[in-house]
Every structure is written in structure tokens, then in C-alpha cells.
Amino acid sequence: MKILVCIKQVPDMESRFKPDASGVWFAETDLAFRVNEYDEYAVEQAVLLKEQLGGEPEVTVLSVGADRVVEAIKKGLSMGGDRGVHVQDAAAHLKDSWQVASIIAAYAVGEGFDLILTGLQSQDRGSAQVGVTIAELLDYACATTAVGFEYADGTVTVKRELEGGVKGTVRLKTPAVVTCQLGLNQPRYPTLPNIMKAKKKEVRVIPVAELLHQEQRVAPVEFRAPARKGSAVVLEGELADQVDRLIGILKDKTAVLR
């Protein structure tokens, strides 16, 4: 069995974001990058399945992006992936979701993956398109928003998270794409020995030009902070002073404190 996990490297969401020179995306200066949270669940699910099947499946961890994304691939390998693929693209942030999906599909089409796992969405762009579009391009079955995953004999049973706490159970046959929602499993922390082992695992580099054959369909034109709808009173400064001011406001504005 061959499993592909598609992961993205994204900036730490607690950062402050400013536009880059193009004005259509964020500047990377001073940002720390990490693996997209949703994709960590995808890596974990792939490794859990590999363990369930006695180590037989081969898990490939793929990421599209600048050279910094190799660090994300290494994390996937230290969690238990077998080999990495780095689609090298310093301008990945300017590709739309359609192009990114087409790049990954162009890589995967000849590889015969039985299962492709990825996050429901990325934390930075958050389009929730790439996983589903890969499935469409490869003509694979696809289930999104997985909070439950079982595999047996070429059949995947996925519990999808719907609104209001309701779940929907679906069954699909491999080859299939499953996109992972937060809470699907408990992503493991790589151990030191596994981090050392991961350093020796193969990461194949493919220049994006070899895989990109599609034009952009959605052009980014602007990047900015949201207009502040809120009119929150902001309390900063000394802790004791903040406490007193908050209690004053609560006494004034709510009937909760008397």
C-alpha cells in the first residue's frame, strides 16, 4: 500500500502580519514557520494506518514551497513518514489553490497512491480546496472533514463532522483522498531517535516547473488587516490596574456583579 500525505508549512498564527512587497500576501520577515495544524492530523493518521498494517504501507510526505518547507517534511518523516518529496517553488504563495492541487496531482498521477491524506484546510490561506481538487483531478473517491477514520481491506470508513455537533458516516473504496479535521487523532511528538533517523531519509526534490501546467484562475489583489468592527475597550498595563478597571466596567455595564 502506498500512502501520500500532503502537508503545508504555515507561519505561526500568533505572529503580526504585514503585506510583502507585492502587496498581495504577507511578508516573511521575522516569522516562525511550522507544519499546518490540520496536516499534522493527516501525518498521524497515515502513521497509525502504517502501524495497523504491520508497517507494510510506504508513507510519502510531500510539500510544495520554498526551501524552508524541507523542515516541515522532516517533521513528517520524524513522526513516521518513510520518504519525502519537496516540490521546490519559491513563489508557491502566488499560486492559487487550483494550481497547487494540479501540481500535486501531476506528481501523484503516475505513482499509484492508494490513499492520499491531507488537512481539511491550511491555516494561512484556508481555502479547503486543495485536497478535494486533487481527488477530482485523479478521479479518486474523496471524503472531507474527517473526525473518525477506519481502514480495512481497501475500504475507508470516515466520520465527517457536520454542523451543530452532528456527524455523518461515509464509506469509500481506495484509491481515495481524505481531508482531516482537527481532533481526528492525537498527533505524536517526534522522539529524538526518530528525529535523528529522519535526517537520513530520502527527500526527493522536484522543481515546480516540471509539474505546473495550469494557469491561475484566481488572482490575489490585496492583503490587509480587517476593518475593526469591534469597539472593544482595550485594557493594557499593570495587572492590578487591569483587574480594577475590568471590575469597574463589569459593575457599570452588566448586572452580573453587584
Partner 1 sequence: MKFLLIGECREGKLLEYSYELFGFASQAGAETAMLLVGEEGTLPGYGGTVYLADAGKYGEYNPDLHKRLVQAVVERERPDYVVFMHTSYGWDLAPRVAALLKAPQVSEVVALAEGGGFERPCLSQKMRQVVKPQGTPVVLTLQGGAFPALVPGGTPQVQPVDAAGEGKVEFLGYEAAARKGVDLTKAEVIVSVGRGVGKKENIPVIAELARVLGGEVGASRPVVDSGWMDAGNQVGVTGQTVSPKLYVACGISGAIQHLAGMKKSGFIVAINKDKDAPIAGVADVLVVADVMQFVPALTAKLVK
Contact flags string 108-127 toward partner 1, x per CB under 8 A: ------------xx-xxxxx
Q: Work out which of 45, 144, 190, 198 binds partner 1, going by CB under 8 A.
A: 144
Asked if 182 touches partner 1 (CB under 8 A), the answer is: yes
Q: How many Å apart are CA 4 and CA 116, to the nearest integer?
A: 5
Q: Work out which of 98, 107, 113, 149 binds partner 1, going by CB under 8 A.
A: 98
Among the residue ranges 53-61, 64-72, 111-119, 171-179, the one whose residues contact partner 1 (CB under 8 A): 171-179
Asked if 145 touches partner 1 (CB under 8 A), the answer is: yes
Q: Work out which of 48, 66, 170, 203 binds partner 1, going by CB under 8 A.
A: 170
Cis before 175 (ω within 30): yes
Least distance to partner 1 from the beta carbon of 227, Å? 8
Least distance to partner 1 from the beta carbon of 60, Å? 23
Q: How many Å apart are CA 136 and CA 145, to the nearest integer?
A: 16
Among the residue ranges 52-60, 66-74, 76-84, 211-219, the one whose residues contact partner 1 (CB under 8 A): 211-219
Q: How many Å apart are CA 170 and CA 25, to the nearest integer?
A: 37
62 neighbors 6 (Cβ within 8 angstroms) = yes
Q: How many Å apart are CA 45 and CA 118, to the nearest integer?
A: 10
64's CB contacts (< 8 A; 6+ apart) are 8, 87, 89, 92, 95, 100, 103, 104, 208
Q: How many Å apart are CA 142 and CA 131, to the nearest integer?
A: 8
Contact flags string 2-31 toward partner 1, x per CB under 8 A: ---------x-xx-xx------xxx-----
Among the residue ranges 63-71, 80-88, 169-177, 199-207, the one whose residues contact partner 1 (CB under 8 A): 169-177
Nearer to partner 1, 10 or 72 (CB): 10
| H or E element, residue 142 | strand 141-152
